Structure 1
Amino acid sequence: MSIAETDTDGPGQTGGYFLPAFSLQRPIADARPVIFASPHSGREYPDRFVDCLRVPLLDLRQTEDAYVDRLFDKAPDHGAQLLKATYARSYVDLNRDPREIDPAMFNGDPPGPVATPTVRVEAGLGCFPRIGARGESIYAKKLSTDEGRARLDHIHTPYHAALSAEIAALHQRFGCAILIDCHSMPSSQPGRPQLPDFVLGDRFGSSCTGQLTSLVERTLRASGFSVTRNAPYAGGYTTRKYGRPKRRVHALQIEINRRLYLDEFKVNPIDEMASLSHQLEGVIGKITEFSERLRP
């Protein structure tokens, strides 16, 4: 099922087939070597998935980076591309290595190669999340090998194939590329009663030039926001996979505190979302302008 409380333009479920794994909006203005990607804002929950849940759908919706794609929807106006996931992150997590799999979730063989267990997998937050917002197991039964393989083949693989191809095309055309991986975070976490407005993750300087991180931080602080770097989020699979600053490919993760734009319990936008979108358009503009300085 598609979640459509305020999503009039979202895709719907079509029979038993997979929808396209993503949508890609091309630049409206003169193209710049920049991609904004939103891997966790997908709102598609297939009926076959919902039917095997043991928790309310709201528990999964609360794990979405809900409406982050809309916060950055002005990116094409500034010459950047906007890549948006279709499916919910609880169905398959596009910001995880496809080998981050918990074999115990499957009734049979795992659907692909399995890496050494990571902290995320052990916590139930691998490529196929096992828990929801309340920390409870979301599935009423184990998954089949075929179901897991289908999610990888039809969603995870096409999304990253497209992202890789677009980065390569920008790099070939402009001699550089910038990827901004767009996320949101809960307003509080255990042991962290209140998080800052924004967390910038550049993997401690290894995924992009510090000039880009500093530019985004300055721009956000000038608008009155609180900003930290790399704590508690330093960047995930996407920034690690694509960030190669020595090759002029820069990847920066932006985490936005959901209290700025969202009713976190109901997972609905609040009035302040419009203002935040406007302020983020200023950030988008600064990044696209900066990209011209990176060209050889």
Structure 2
Amino acid sequence: MSTAFDICWPGGEAAAPPTPLVFASPHSGRLYPDDMNPALDALRIRRSEDAKVDELIDQAPALGAPVIRALTARAYLDVNRDPGELDPRLFREALPAEARALSPRVAAGLGVVARVASGGAEIYDRRLSLEEGLSRIARVHAPYHDALSRLLARARAAHGLAVLIDWHSMPQSAAPGVDFVLGDRFGAACSPALTAAVERLLGEAGYRTARNAPFAGGYTTEHYGRPDRRTHALQVEINRGLYLDEVRLETTAGFGRLRETLGRLIARLAETDWRPLLQS
């Protein structure tokens, strides 16, 4: 089994995709490989995780959507970053000419190999070799995206289009008064009908939503969201205050209610005939 990711399939890997939906949880991974050797203690570094997001959506395969989840922690290698987003302050050697060292995410210390953890604490007390970073990309980032690409291709082959929902969580302080932030790259990554449908379903359940602020969608949404190529991508950020003690990383009483609500939302999405909505 890959240590980079796993996939939970509806009806098994050999079965045809029952819906065009594909779900991803790129930041819920909890594996910290031995070669990482961080300077931070375990709990402090784990606060970078989108803790328990994979468990919130674990009903999806039974309802018709495969779930690909990263197993390796985002602090080790972030699969929701461009593989070229390398931080010159983290590596000992000069970066390749094609590196995207000036991206805003790299400037914040959150490149494909993160330099800082949640709260801005430095993860390492040393600089890494470039080979360490490139090896992580080859072992974690590349296999994850190869698998995600194949899932989307299967959905398009079976249904004429693919609908990717990329699930995340955000600190309660990131968007005060907002329960969910829906990121569609300001309409570039998916049809407005997809964003509106998710927004409406969450509103009917009593949740407050915002679009594209402060999160418009990361690498996954931007890279795969190509409506003109029959692939629609939406990033969903869940307020951790709904279900998680952010200090201890333990679920609260709200976890069960939120999981039930998301189960109903996923069921509604799976029942939707997306072709007339998204191909118009």
TM-based fold match above 0.5: yes
Q: Contact between 2:183 and 2:234, CA under 8 Å: does it hold in 1?
A: yes
In 2 relative to 1, CA 140–291 (structure 1 residues): closer, same or farther, beyond 3 Å? farther
Which residues of structure 2 form unaligned runs of 5+? none
> 1:40 aligns to what SS in structure 2?
coil
Q: Distance in 2 between matches of 1:243 and 1:35?
A: 12
TM-score under structure 1 normalisation?
0.88
Name the aligned partner's letter for residue 46 of structure 2.
R
Query: 1:54-93 residue pairs with structure 2 within 5 A?
Result: 54-93=39-78
Matches within 5 A, 1:1-296: 19-28=2-11, 31-49=18-36, 51=37, 53-110=38-95, 113-189=98-174, 194-294=176-276
DSSP 3-state at the match of 1:253: strand
TM (norm. structure 2) is 0.92
Contact conserved, 1:130 with 1:138, CA < 8 A, in 2? yes
Quick one: distance in 1 between partners of 2:169 and 2:244?
A: 10
Cα distance, 1:283 vs structure 2: 1.2
The one-letter amino acid of 2:239's match is: N
* AA matched with 1:44: L
CA contact under 8 A between 2:88 and 2:101: conserved in structure 1? no
1:5 alignment counterpart: none
The 8 Å contact of residues 3 and 71 in structure 2, kept in 1 or not, is answered as yes
Query: CA contact under 8 A between 1:65 and 1:184: conserved in structure 2?
Result: yes
Supply the RMSD in Å over aligned alpha carbons: 1.9
Alpha-carbon distance in structure 2 between the residues aligned to 1:137 and 1:202 = 30
2:85 counterpart SS class? coil
Alignment coverage as a number of residue pairs: 274
* AA in 1 matched with 2:183: G
* 1:16 alignment counterpart: none
The question of whether the paired residues in 1 share the 8 Å contact of 2:177 and 2:208 is answered with no
Spell out structure 1 runs of 4+ moving beyond 6 A: none
Residue segments in structure 1 that go unaligned for 5+ positions in a row: 1-10, 12-18
Q: What's the secondary structure of 2:126's corresponding residue?
A: coil
